[in-house]
């Protein structure tokens, strides 16, 4: 399911209209819809407002219920599943569960992932009554989770009547899939088991509005004319490319133009790194060798699904602007005096590919200026473990069927140094940047992509936020490999602005796995303090198919990438800009 989101591939299930319509309840209707859009799992934390709903979801044998340790992790597990599988669902209880999950849902919004958050809710009879209820603010207002959800989803609905449930459920799911954003569905606990209509054909939910053909034609003509006048165009790939389902079409345009293709850090692996025109990660001052130079040398930059924020522009020092920039966004193309909307990115790229002529100058120049970074030499097996040695040893593990998941921290910059061969995938939560995201996201991703080798690179500080979800990997016997980089603190923050707040309590990270294993788990926890110990630990990890292996890699507090130091200096300068005079 990795190339095409699940809902795009999902074949409408045949609905037996002769079945008794009363055979469906609100909960089983929802389950059927989730299954029809291609989900095989949904993530859940139980609570009395959602127990009947969970029973209803369990009754659908095509959907497996997967339990999480808390609702933040439940949301992030679903977010990781959506990365692998195209969409996801998480079920929580009212307020105490939903408010924790909201942080992950906001992350899914920022990262353009359709995660459907479903919350159990108070009995419909208790609304507009004098009753006070548990898990609330001890007021008669139960509307605040819905109101909050509206700010972090593309659709938020509250179901208090079985008759309205099908339309509201369909609206929420349809919006999420179309907009690649999360949705929120709240269901009163006495409504989940109430009878409702049977689901109609799923095509009504999946159908997309086509691009406006006149606008598409005009946009393509104008863009082709723009490129015809240029000698040295470069394509810059951004993270919204995948959400727009336009990865193949970006390759078509690259092939047609024959120009250099640079990729933003947040989009690493969205354009194949073994494509002959791939020139590396463009990240301002810390770009791959040659990538920044070729972007600077170009006379036109075609920005495809890009997001320029303070981090990706390295503290606003690498912000492409001006008449040479053409931006092709999810549903919009704009450059110079033009601004076209209501066109799908994939339609625009595919049609433009058929119109343009070859523009290979940037590839000629790139080949002249490009110098590979020299390969690192292995350190002596008994010498102290260093960050560079960790990356060197991870490199050969990344095969075409591997997904690397890189947590916020120096793992971002370490991850950029890995080459992704063939269909290797790279996952990063760079827009939202919530530390701790990667542990549950790795769990969810591994369930969504059971045939892939999953490697997670996670800092010690991040791990402490969501460590419990390793126990769920153990429960499900998922053989993921976690490189836990123990540099004794928040090193990325150290490089931006240091203080005592960047020191954290050390844990016995490897030892923790035994505690999670309890009486029946097969996780392995190992500690590496030298290159030799790391190599041995990797062998153990590769042999362990019965559960996750966590390798605690102990390094010095200041042993970080040079890229982090340069980036940290410029981001720190951007943060420190004084207020404008009044
Ligand atoms: C913070 C960050 O140990 O990685 O490589 O040592 O930096 P490094 P760690 O995981 O530490 C992470 C730490 C504290 N960011 O350096 S990036 C601020 C922050 C955040 N998200 C949340 N809280 C605080 N990004 C939820
Ligand atoms: Mg750290």
Ordered DSSP codes for 443-504: HHHHHH-TTSEEEEEEEHHHHHHHTTHHHHHHHTT---EEEEEE-SS-HHHHHHS--GGG--
**CA separation for the pair 255, 272 (Å, rounded):** 12
Residue nearest to atom 12 of ligand 1 (CA): 490
Q: Report which bound ligand comes closest to the CA of 408.
A: 1
Q: What is the pLDDT of residue 2?
A: 40
Q: What is the largest CA-CA distance in the chain?
A: 77
> Distance, CA 88 to ligand 2 centroid (Å)?
30
Ligand 1 atom closest to 504 (CA): 3
Tokens of 279: 């020139």
Ligand 1 atom closest to 408 (CA): 17
Hey, which of 435, 564, 565 would you mutate to test ligand 1's pocket, going by the most ligand atoms within 8 Å of its Cβ? 435
pTM over 0.85: yes
> Distance, CA 493 to ligand 1 centroid (Å)?
7
> Distance, CA 323 to ligand 2 centroid (Å)?
42
- The dihedral through the CA atoms of 180, 169, 60, 17 has a sign that is negative
Q: Report which bound ligand comes closest to the CA of 457.
A: 1
- The 8-class DSSP code of residue 193 comes to T
Ligand 1 atom closest to 103 (CA): 26
Ligand 1 atom closest to 459 (CA): 10
- In 222-309 the beta strands, taken as DSSP E runs, fall at 233-237, 260-264, 278-282, 300-304
Hey, which of 72, 75, 409 would you mutate to test ligand 1's pocket, going by the most ligand atoms within 8 Å of its Cβ? 409
* Cα angle value 543/546/547 (rounded, 5°): 100
Question: Which residues fall within 8 angstroms of residue 565, CB to CB, at 6 or more apart?
Answer: 495
Q: What is the pLDDT of residue 372?
A: 77
**CA separation for the pair 58, 44 (Å, rounded):** 11
Q: What is the pLDDT of residue 20?
A: 55
- The 8-class DSSP code of residue 44 comes to E
Residue nearest to atom 24 of ligand 1 (CA): 435
> Distance, CA 431 to ligand 1 centroid (Å)?
14
Q: What is the pLDDT of residue 281?
A: 98
> Distance, CA 112 to ligand 1 centroid (Å)?
22
Name all residues whose Cβ lies below 6 A of ligand 1.
408-410, 433-435, 459-462, 487, 489-493
**CA separation for the pair 419, 280 (Å, rounded):** 10
Ligand 1 atom closest to 458 (CA): 10
Q: What is the pLDDT of residue 7?
A: 42
- CA 161 from centre of chain: 34
Name the residue among 528, 556, 552 with its Cα closest to residue 467. 552
Ligand 1 atom closest to 435 (CA): 21
Question: Which residues fall within 8 angstroms of residue 487, CB to CB, at 6 or more apart?
Answer: 387, 410, 459, 460, 555, 556, 557, 559, 560
> Distance, CA 346 to ligand 1 centroid (Å)?
35
- The 8-class DSSP code of residue 130 comes to S
> Distance, CA 179 to ligand 2 centroid (Å)?
35
**CA separation for the pair 228, 225 (Å, rounded):** 5
Extract the residue ranges of the chain whose pLDDT is less than 50.
1-19
Q: Report which bound ligand comes closest to the CA of 430.
A: 1
> Distance, CA 458 to ligand 2 centroid (Å)?
8
Q: Report which bound ligand comes closest to the CA of 433.
A: 1
**CA separation for the pair 477, 458 (Å, rounded):** 20
Are 531 and 505 in contact, with CB atoms under 8 Å apart? no
Ligand 1 atom closest to 493 (CA): 16
**CA separation for the pair 187, 259 (Å, rounded):** 52
In angstroms, the Cα distances linking 371 to 366, 375, 566 are 9, 12, 20
> Distance, CA 309 to ligand 1 centroid (Å)?
18
Residue nearest to atom 18 of ligand 1 (CA): 435
Question: Which residues fall within 8 angstroms of residue 180, CB to CB, at 6 or more apart?
Answer: 112, 113, 114, 243, 244, 330
Hey, which of 461, 486, 504, 567 would you mutate to test ligand 1's pocket, going by the most ligand atoms within 8 Å of its Cβ? 461
Q: What is the pLDDT of residue 22?
A: 56
Which stretch of DSSP H or E encloses residue 558? none
> Distance, CA 434 to ligand 1 centroid (Å)?
8
Q: Report which bound ligand comes closest to the CA of 462.
A: 1
List the beta bridge partners of residue 525: 550
Ligand 1 atom closest to 463 (CA): 10
Helix (H, G, I), strand (E, B) or coil at 197: coil
> Distance, CA 266 to ligand 2 centroid (Å)?
21
Which stretch of DSSP H or E encloses residue 188? strand 183-188
Question: Which residues fall within 8 angstroms of residue 519, CB to CB, at 6 or more apart?
Answer: none
> Distance, CA 474 to ligand 2 centroid (Å)?
24
Ligand 1 atom closest to 411 (CA): 5
């Amino acid at each position: 399911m990795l190339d095409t989101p699940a809902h795009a591939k999902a074949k409408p299930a045949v609905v037996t209209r002769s079945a008794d319509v009363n055979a469906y309840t609100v909960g089983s209707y929802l389950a059927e819809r989730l299954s029809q859009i291609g989900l095989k799992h949904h993530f859940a934390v139980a609570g009395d407002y959602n127990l009947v709903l969970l029973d209803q979801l369990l009754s659908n044998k095509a959907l497996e219920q997967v339990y999480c340790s808390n609702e933040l992790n439940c949301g992030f597990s679903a977010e990781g599943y959506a990365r692998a599988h195209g969409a996801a669902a998480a079920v929580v209880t009212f307020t105490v569960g939903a408010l924790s999950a909201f942080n992950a849902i906001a992350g899914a919004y920022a990262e353009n992932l359709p995660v459907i958050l479903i919350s159990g809710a108070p009995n419909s009879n208790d609304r507009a009554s004098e009753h006070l209820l548990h898990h609330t603010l001890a007021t008669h207002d139960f509307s605040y989770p819905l109101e909050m959800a509206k700010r972090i989803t593309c659709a938020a609905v509250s179901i208090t009547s079985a008759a309205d449930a099908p339309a509201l459920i369909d609206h929420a799911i349809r919006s999420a899939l179309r907009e690649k954003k999360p949705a929120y569905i709240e269901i009163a606990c006495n409504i989940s088991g109430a009878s409702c209509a049977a689901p109609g054909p799923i095509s009504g939910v999946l159908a997309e509005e086509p691009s406006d053909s006149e606008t598409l034609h005009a946009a393509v003509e104008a863009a082709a004319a723009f490129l015809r006048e240029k000698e040295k165009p470069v394509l810059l790939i951004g993270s919204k490319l995948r959400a727009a389902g336009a990865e193949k079409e970006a390759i078509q345009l690259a092939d047609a133009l024959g120009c250099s293709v640079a990729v933003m850090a947040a989009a690493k692996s969205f354009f194949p790194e073994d494509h002959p025109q791939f020139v590396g990660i463009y990240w301002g001052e810390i770009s791959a060798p040659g990538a920044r130079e070729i972007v600077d040398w170009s006379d036109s930059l075609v920005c495809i699904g890009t997001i320029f924020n303070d981090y990706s522009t390295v503290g606003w020092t690498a912000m492409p602007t001006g008449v040479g920039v053409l931006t092709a966004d999810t549903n919009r193309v704009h450059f110079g005096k033009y601004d076209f909307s209501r066109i799908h990115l994939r339609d625009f790229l595919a049609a433009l590919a058929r119109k343009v002529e070859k523009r290979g100058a940037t590839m000629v120049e790139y080949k002249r200026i490009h110098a590979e970074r020299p390969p690192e030499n292995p350190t002596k097996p008994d010498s102290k473990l260093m960050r560079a040695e960790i990356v060197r040893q991870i490199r050969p593990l990344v095969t075409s069927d591997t997904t690397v998941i890189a947590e916020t921290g120096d793992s971002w910059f370490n991850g950029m140094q890995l080459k992704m061969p063939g269909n290797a995938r790279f996952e990063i939560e760079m827009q939202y940047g919530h530390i701790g995201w990667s542990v549950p996201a790795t769990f969810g991703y591994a369930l969504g992509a059971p045939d892939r080798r999953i490697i997670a690179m996670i800092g010690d500080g991040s791990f402490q936020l969501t460590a419990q979800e390793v126990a769920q990997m153990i429960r499900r016997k998922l053989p993921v490999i976690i490189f836990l980089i123990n540099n004794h603190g928040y090193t990325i923050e150290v490089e931006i602005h240091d203080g005592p707040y960047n020191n954290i309590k050390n844990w016995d990270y490897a030892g923790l796995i035994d505690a999670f294993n309890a009486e029946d788990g097969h996780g392995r926890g190992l500690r590496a303090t030298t290159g030799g110990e790391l190599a041995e630990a990797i062998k153990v990890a590769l042999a362990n198919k019965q559960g996750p292996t966590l390798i605690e890699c102990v390094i010095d507090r200041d042993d970080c990438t040079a890229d982090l130091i340069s980036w940290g200096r410029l981001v720190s300068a951007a943060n420190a800009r004084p207020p404008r005079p009044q």
